[in-house]
Amino acid sequence: MGRVVPFSGVYIDSTGSFLPGPAIDNEAIDRFVAPVNRMSSRIKRRILAENGIAIRHYAIDEQGTTRFSVTAMAAGAVRACAAKVGDAPVGLLASATSGADLLLPGLANQVQAELGWAPLTTASHHGVCASGMQALADAARSVDRGEHHAAMVVASESPSRLFKCSRFAPGDYDLDFDAHFLRWMLSDAAGAWRVSSRPAPDRLSLKLHFVHSQSHAGDYPLCMQMGLPHGGGAGWLDHPNAAAAERAGALLLRQDIRLLPHLFDVGIHAYADLVRHGAVDPAGIDHFLCHYSSARFRGVVRDCLERAELTIPEERWFSNLATRGNTGAASIFVMLDDFLAERTVAPGEKILLFVPESGRFTVSFALLEVVGPDPSPREAQTAATQTVAETYVGLDAPPPPHDPASVDAARKPELATLLLELAGIWSDFRSRAWRSAPVRRIVAGRFTQHDYLTWMAHWIPQVREGTRWMRTAVGNLSERYAPLRALIEGHADDEQDDYQILFEDYRRAGGSVEDLVALQRNPGGEALNAFLHAQARQTDAVGLLGAIYIIEGSGQRLIPALLPLIRRQLSELGPVFRFLHYHGENDMAHLQRLLYAVDLVLECWPDASATMVDISRTGQRTAALYVLELEDAA
């Protein structure tokens, strides 16, 4: 056994779960998981008589249609968990599942996208039941080392999709017992825990002493798998095609139940090692949460503990198997959430978690201790800034708004410094813009004609006012900035052309002039307009170059990525995307002109530091108001 290294300061300060659909009792199972041959009903009666499961939840309906994806369930559990701590941010999202919605990328990335969370570190763990504990260990080590102040760990499973009625036509499948067994054992759910470097300030938390997980794959045969046919043979990807793999039975989930008693023997020996090394004291365990797939195995665990003389009295055990079923990696997460909701615990009490996994025999333990609230004031906690390499799958990725490295820092140190500052502002703005409601609808494929008209209707005043505040600013430039006047005047002329193109697109897409006249501009748009006009009325408002940087950068960087998605969803509208296309094609030139303007300003006035602060600050405020306008346009 590896050395158990205790964590110095790691706490579970919140838990949550998500159970899809209504509870399904044993009589209703056949409406979701139908018998496939004459053996099915007899095997089902036998298995249900032994496993002790009375009700469970399925993420599919009776027609086999998925109602809640693995990703959606995981997001639901995370929301329930995060709501208990006021949606406090985390720096790491770790996930676990045995079967995500996509073969790739990882589940954690999919959950982050579903939640619309800001950039953060992700870790996706794939396996069976123990993968959730491995995700917990990963997150806990990260928090304990100080890499992140908090992490969210989520496990989500939806095996019902493997067993649904629509997949199996009666009589077409001659399933072996190993493939039959799990059809009535597994169900769907998701659970999440928030791991923090400090206890919650207003309620009990759980101090995580250690997580210990070991695989014994080198010692025993394969027990639970999906990918190989009965008796072995070619793997699912080694068949000529997916249909051939299905016919061979390589896509059936199987478990060799003859090996299962060995799993608990391995688990109890691992538990004995923890006791021998002083990591666990059986007498000091107040609550024992053991994940077992069948009530039959409760007795196996009890007997193993008694033989090892390391018994934890059964009145200290807690299980929700009867009401939740076996939900794989999510089981222990949902179990702890149910336990905390149903049982009263007190500071000092210890909870031992035990998760045996039959896939290739992995056993995991975690020791928790109940602690009281932390009354000390907390510093404002924000997720650590991550360096993210952004890509758009299937789209032509435009270049960044500028390349700071292309500037000769030795010759133009002020410009190079300003561009790096603006790059940071842009990075934050880009992330927030991608997570705004209209953009999320576009990415999710839910963007409608009404959404497009609403978006343009709020965009039209911004473009129209852009010409006005630019010309106001030009009129207030002193002689020292005379070279800048013609440049900004030309930009204002371009904005006027933009306005005409946008207005024509709006009309062709079905918008009416009457609606524009009656439009109550959203608060974010009004605030942005008022801010830019107020800035423009000041003498030498060169800080507005920061505003132009953000606005033009949106057209050059965001619009080309969104336009193909919008075209696909609204193709029936015809040629109504000239404004978006024009932005993507021309805003790079606009930005180059802007960079020239910034360089010109720095040459016109020797007090570069004050000018740089003004441009940077105006860019930052414009970005914040622009995001507010996007959200309010929803």
Residue 20's pLDDT is what? 96
Q: Residue 232 domain-assigned?
A: no
> Do 483 and 583 reside in the same domain of the chain?
yes
Residue 270's pLDDT is what? 86
Any idea what the CATH number is for the domain that residue 620 is in? 1.20.910.10
Alpha helix (H) ranges present in 58-199?
A: 70-83, 107-115, 131-144, 160-163, 177-181
Residue 394's pLDDT is what? 35
Q: Are 633 and 438 in contact (CB under 8 A)?
A: yes
Cβ neighbours, 10 Å, residue 199? 23
Q: Residue 248 domain-assigned?
A: no
The first and second tokens of residue 174, run together, are 């001659």
> Do 582 and 445 reside in the same domain of the chain?
yes
Q: Tell me how many helices (H) and strands (E) the chain has.
A: 21, 14
Residue 400's pLDDT is what? 45
Using one digit for the tens of pLDDT, what is the confidence trace for 92-101? 999 999 999 9
> Do 82 and 29 reside in the same domain of the chain?
yes
Q: How far apart are the first and last CA of the chain?
A: 56
Q: Residue 3 domain-assigned?
A: no
Q: What is the pTM of this model?
A: 0.80
Domain count, the chain: 2
What CA–CA distance (Å, rounded) separates 434 from 423?
16
Among candidate residues 321, 350, 371, the one where a domain is terminated:
371
> Do 194 and 142 reside in the same domain of the chain?
yes
> Do 422 and 544 reside in the same domain of the chain?
yes
What CA–CA distance (Å, rounded) separates 55 from 331?
14
Residue 208's pLDDT is what? 98
All residues at 6 or more sequence positions from 38 whose CB lies less than 8 Å from its CB, including other chains: none
55-56 and 92-97: which strand pairing?
unpaired
Residues of the chain below pLDDT 70: 1-2, 169-175, 308, 376-412, 519-520, 555-556, 582-595, 605-608, 633-634
What CA–CA distance (Å, rounded) separates 188 from 158?
5
Q: Residue 2 domain-assigned?
A: no
Q: Are 190 and 114 in contact (CB under 8 A)?
A: no
Q: Are 129 and 291 in contact (CB under 8 A)?
A: yes
Any idea what the CATH number is for the domain that residue 46 is in? 3.40.47.10
Q: Residue 288 domain-assigned?
A: yes
Q: Are 209 and 130 in contact (CB under 8 A)?
A: no
Q: Residue 78 domain-assigned?
A: yes
Q: Which domain holds residue 557?
A: 404-632
What CA–CA distance (Å, rounded) separates 167 from 8?
49
Residue 393, Cβ density class (10 Å: 0-12 exposed, 13-18 middle, ≥19 buried)? exposed
Q: Residue 487 domain-assigned?
A: yes
Residue 633's pLDDT is what? 67
Q: Residue 188 domain-assigned?
A: yes
